[in-house]
Amino acid sequence: MRAVALAQLGCTVTHDPDGAPRLVDREGHISISHDGAWTVAVYSDAPIGIDLCLRSHAARATRILDWLAIDCDADPVEQFAALEAALKLHRLGIERVLDRDLAILVDGDALVVRGLGDDIRATLHHYPDFVMAVCG
Residue 134 to residues 47, 66, 86, 110, 113, Cα–Cα distance (Å): 11, 22, 8, 10, 12
Residue 117's pLDDT is what? 94
Domains of the chain plus CATH, in order, are: 2-135 (3.90.470)
| 133 φ, ψ (degrees, to nearest 5) | -125, 140
- The closest alpha carbon to 52, from 73, 77, 72, belongs to 77
Provide block-wise average pLDDT over 10 residues at a time, the chain (136 residues): 62 83 87 93 94 98 95 97 98 90 97 97 98 98
Say what the pTM is: 0.90
Residue 113's pLDDT is what? 98
Distance CA 5, CA 95 (A): 27
Cβ burial, residue 27 (10 Å; 0-12/13-18/19+):
exposed
Whether 79 and 65 have beta carbons less than 8 Å apart is answered as yes
| 27 φ, ψ (degrees, to nearest 5) | -80, 155
Distance CA 83, CA 128 (A): 20
Question: From the CB of residue 133, how many other CB atoms can be counted at a distance below 10 Å?
Answer: 29
